[in-house]
Amino acid sequence: MGTMQEDEGLGFGSSLPVPSVQEIVRNDANNIPERYIKNPEDRPKGSDICLVSDDIPIINLYMLSKGDEDERRKLDIACQEWGFFQIINHGADGVLTKMKAAVEEFFDLPLSEKKKYGMAANDVQGYGQGYVVSEDQKLDWNDLLFLITLPANFRNIKYWPLTIPGFKETIEEYAKEIQRVADEIFANLSLLMGVESDFLKQMHGDAKQGIRMNYYPSCARPDLVLGVSPHSDSSSITLLVQDDEITALQIKHKGAWVPVKPIPNAIVVNIGDVMEAWSNGRYKSIEHRAVTNVEKPRISAAAFVIPGNEVELNPLKTMVDDDGRPRIFKNGVKYIDYLRYTLAKKMEGKLANIEYLKLEN
């Protein structure tokens, strides 16, 4: 099949072209166009941020892979109470560092060069901005390069910056490593949900992995803009690698925004909407956002694991029963229909999306 959907895009949806934020800042660091200034109620306020909270849970992947039951229990609690955790001891440090360097090299290219990989009108892959669906919506302070990375025959190589030496090899290697980490988590979550360890992996059908490489320019007025508006991910899980120093990602926890303090070389993992549905709501797909700062640009890379288009988001039978686990999620919603639904709307926070998967009551 090789080049399937080469020119039709992925059939997921599309995003309107808007200017590069990196260029706006390069031309005039004090210019914040109206389209980026959030409405007052949507601006990041210091008073919304929870400073006293505990940090999000830390999970040791090596222990998980050894079958350590305490570690698995920690994972269970992390996914129920936080929907977010940081993975250490994953054995991918080297490739992680290389990947960050490759992403930085991409965004360092001149605009004219980056534009060669610009999103086509019918695609969400490539260089551009995400979730732009109308001319008058407020925009995020972010440029991105989105690539389908696995399986190999779904890659659309026209979006890959092959002129950067080693870029393709590095991203390929990273994609494989991050999938290994994802599979270890799926195996453990399967056991926690009372099914065989390969169940969740099988449940994905023709799984895909897409990586969203984010560039957040510095901003003269971080109080007026957002790097990414509040949203939940429409993946099964997301594995994020972020800058080692800048704290920018915030997650909604007990009604407040909790900053995710970077641990160098850790991988931030979060439960996506698909896993929330499959687990019948046991594991939570949590709203998150990213803020900007005056001093430095920030780079991150989010790997989204998604099921095949035709896979249904039915809760596992083991997660629905008559005593204590009433069914919350519907049967019969196909992933592709859910994804198209979420991509057609601007990011409106989590509720609008996940309601689509729930039973009416």
> Interface residues with Ni ion (CB under 5 A)?
233
In the bound state with ligand OGA, the residue whose beta carbon lies nearer, of 78 and 319, is: 78
Report in angstroms how near the CB of residue 13 gets to ligand OGA at its nearest. Answer: 15
Distance CA 84, CA 51 (A): 17
Range 204-223 burial, b when 16+ CB lie within 10 A, else e: beebbbbbbbbbbbbbeebe
Structure tokens at 151: 């399986």
From ligand OGA, Ni ion, none, interface partner of 20 (C-beta below 5 to 8 A by class): none
Could you say whether residue 288 binds ligand OGA (CB under 6 A)?
yes
From ligand OGA, Ni ion, none, interface partner of 212 (C-beta below 5 to 8 A by class): ligand OGA
In the bound state with ligand OGA, the residue whose beta carbon lies nearer, of 148 and 248, is: 248
By beta-carbon distance, which residue lies closest to ligand OGA?
300
Distance CA 191, CA 134 (A): 43
Q: Which of residues 290-349 bind ligand OGA (CB under 6 A)?
A: 290, 300, 302
In the bound state with ligand OGA, the residue whose beta carbon lies nearer, of 182 and 328, is: 182
From Ni ion, ligand OGA, none, interface partner of 123 (C-beta below 5 to 8 A by class): none
In the bound state with ligand OGA, the residue whose beta carbon lies nearer, of 230 and 315, is: 230
Residue 308's alpha-carbon distances to 51, 93, 202, 235, in angstroms, are 40, 29, 11, 11
Could you say whether residue 182 binds ligand OGA (CB under 6 A)?
no
Report in angstroms how near the CB of residue 297 gets to ligand OGA at its nearest. Answer: 12
From Ni ion, ligand OGA, none, interface partner of 74 (C-beta below 5 to 8 A by class): none
Report in angstroms how near the CB of residue 349 gets to ligand OGA at its nearest. Answer: 13
Q: Which of residues 197-216 bind ligand OGA (CB under 6 A)?
A: 212, 214
By beta-carbon distance, which residue lies closest to Ni ion?
233
In the bound state with Ni ion, the residue whose beta carbon lies nearer, of 140 and 233, is: 233
CB 230 within 8 A of CB 288: yes
In the bound state with Ni ion, the residue whose beta carbon lies nearer, of 56 and 319, is: 56
In the bound state with ligand OGA, the residue whose beta carbon lies nearer, of 193 and 208, is: 208
User: Total residues contacting ligand OGA (rule CB under 6 A)?
Assistant: 12
Q: Which of residues 231-250 bind ligand OGA (CB under 6 A)?
A: 233, 240, 242, 248-249
In the bound state with ligand OGA, the residue whose beta carbon lies nearer, of 304 and 335, is: 304
Report in angstroms how near the CB of residue 288 gets to Ni ion at its nearest. Answer: 6
CB 141 within 8 A of CB 19: no
Report in angstroms how near the CB of residue 212 gets to Ni ion at its nearest. Answer: 8
Report in angstroms how near the CB of residue 260 gets to ligand OGA at its nearest. Answer: 8
In angstroms, the first-to-last Cα distance of the chain is 44
In the bound state with Ni ion, the residue whose beta carbon lies nearer, of 75 and 240, is: 240
Report in angstroms how near the CB of residue 8 gets to Ni ion at its nearest. Answer: 26
Report in angstroms how near the CB of residue 295 gets to Ni ion at its nearest. Answer: 23
Report in angstroms how near the CB of residue 242 gets to ligand OGA at its nearest. Answer: 5
Residues that bind ligand OGA in the complex, under the rule CB under 6 A: 212, 214, 228, 233, 240, 242, 248-249, 288, 290, 300, 302
